[in-house]
Amino acid sequence: MTKSKTEIIEKDVQERIFNAALKEFSIYGLCGARIERISKAAKINKAMIFYYFSSKENLYKMVVKSVFNQFAPGIIQHLSTDPSPEEFIEKMTRHYVRIIASKPEFIRMIALELIQNPENITSTVKGVFSEIGNNTGPAQIKKLHARWVSENKISEPDPVQFMLNIASLALLSFIGRPFIEALFKSDTENITTSHEEFMEMRIKSVINILKRGMLS
């Protein structure tokens, strides 16, 4: 069905609000963010933000939910094939790195909130997966992990550590890159690699580390 002109305008307004809010939250966090700055960046009246989202806290939750909803389908898709631990590590690493690379402001937002108010992120992410269903996402990963441990296919017995190893290596690939390159730029020939080349190199390196460290 063709969208009406009003629906198209509303979608454009909400996207401008989301983009402005994501940038604001990535710089100031939830507590330091200001609706006035968001409305100015989005080029809309402040009242419109409250009309669509009712509060700064609700806008924050919707921004986090929107980005994490981009993570969730890929995770569920990878789980639906009943993967081996090797396949899971490969697919999840690639998925995490790609999403993280496409959302640098979101990563800054997560890093800031994990330091200041970790409950803001964790409660929102739990809400995303609870809406999808209890048998998907984390719950399904835990079941797969338990089976792999019982079959002696992986050496990491804790599902939290197992997933933390995957997620943290993907995340730190982009947080740590400027620092590491600055230290080694005089000795390293790969500093001038493109963003795409860097991602592929990083994906392969992380997968290699994870397989060597966690597969039996």
Residue pLDDT, tens place only, 96-128: 888 878 877 887 887 787 787 787 777 777 776
Q: Which of the residue ranges 55-59, 82-86, 175-179 would you say has the lowest mean pLDDT?
A: 175-179
The single-letter DSSP state of residue 80 is T
In this structure, is residue 22 part of a structural domain? Answer: no
Q: Which of the residue ranges 55-64, 96-105, 140-149, 151-160 would you say has the lowest mean pLDDT?
A: 96-105
Residue 39, pLDDT > 80, answer yes
Beta-bridge mates of residue 154: 215
**Which DSSP string corresponds to 25-70?**
HHHHHHHH--HHHHHHHHTS-HHHHHHHHSSHHHHHHHHHHHHHHH
Residue 134, pLDDT > 60, answer no
Share of the chain above pLDDT 90, in %: 32
Residue 1, pLDDT > 50, answer no
20-32 pLDDT, tens digit each: 999 999 899 888 9
**Residue 43, by phi and psi: left (phi above 0), alpha (psi -120 to 50) or beta?**
left
Residue 34, pLDDT > 80, answer yes
Average pLDDT along the chain: 82
Beta-bridge mates of residue 215: 154
Q: Which of the residue ranges 18-32, 71-85, 120-134 would you say has the lowest mean pLDDT?
A: 120-134
Which tokens sit at 175?
Answer: 């947080």
In this structure, is residue 7 part of a structural domain? Answer: no
Model confidence, pTM: 0.74
Q: What's the average model confidence in pLDDT over 84-91?
A: 93
**Residue 54, by phi and psi: left (phi above 0), alpha (psi -120 to 50) or beta?**
left
The domain in which residue 141 lies consists of: 65-214
Q: What's residue 5's pLDDT? A: 45
The count of domains in the chain is 1
Residue 197's contacts (CB-CB under 8 Å, 6 or more residues apart) are: none
Burial class (CB in 10 A: 0-12, 13-18, 19+), 150: exposed
Q: What's residue 135's pLDDT? A: 55
The dihedrals phi and psi of 144, each to the nearest 5 degrees, come to: -60, -45
In this structure, is residue 72 part of a structural domain? Answer: yes
Which among 166, 175, 26, 28 has a CA at the least distance from the CA of 101? 175
159-214 pLDDT, tens digit each: 999 999 998 888 777 777 777 777 776 554 555 567 788 888 889 999 999 999 99
Q: Are 169 and 209 within 8 A, CB to CB? A: yes
Between CA 125 and CA 130 the distance in angstroms is 9
Residue 79, pLDDT > 90, answer no
The CATH number covering residue 105 comes to 1.10.357
In this structure, is residue 24 part of a structural domain? Answer: no
Which among 68, 118, 114, 104 has a CA at the least distance from the CA of 177? 104
In this structure, is residue 1 part of a structural domain? Answer: no
Q: What's residue 6's pLDDT? A: 53
